[in-house]
Amino acid sequence: MLIKISASGEKLSPSHIQGKYAFFTNVILLIKNTQGKVLYVDYTTARLAQYTPPAIFHHMKYYYEVIKVQEEFAKYIGCIAKAIEDKLKPMYRNKKLECKEDVTVIVA
């Protein structure tokens, strides 16, 4: 299967996850510092309001860039997040990202 996805999304600070954003599901999160450098790539299939970042970021100032994944690609969200991580090369690698599916992801 071939999936094409953009590596950019909506910018949100953690305190602004409310309203419609709180109910987003199947999203990829780019955690960026205030200078715009990608620190970490993660994903959640639950509601965005329930997401908690890794403990290493509690002392840092950061914001999220939220990339919505279409419903038909939701089962490949781990593969998509891994491809985005490989392309953006964040400061901290997410060791939980893995892809066991036969999927080709093009990150634009």
Distance CA 68, CA 60 (A): 24
Average pLDDT rounded to a whole number, residues 17-40: 94
**What's the predicted TM-score (pTM) here?**
0.92
Q: For the chain, how many structural domains are there in total?
A: 1
Residues 85/41, Cβ–Cβ less than 8 Å: yes
Average pLDDT rounded to a whole number, residues 64-93: 95
Residue span of the structural domain in which 37 resides: 2-107
Q: Does the pLDDT of residue 19 top 90, yes or no?
A: no
Q: How confident is the model at residue 72 (pLDDT cuts 50, 70, 90)?
A: very high
pLDDT score recorded for residue 11 = 95
Buried b (16+ CB within 10 A) or exposed e, 52-84: ebeeebeeeebbbbbbebeeebeebbbbbbbbb
Q: Catalogue the E-assigned strands of the chain.
A: 2-5, 10-12, 27-33, 38-44, 62-68, 104-107
pLDDT score recorded for residue 66 = 96
pLDDT score recorded for residue 47 = 95
pLDDT score recorded for residue 2 = 93
Average pLDDT rounded to a whole number, residues 47-58: 94
Residue 32's SS3 state is strand
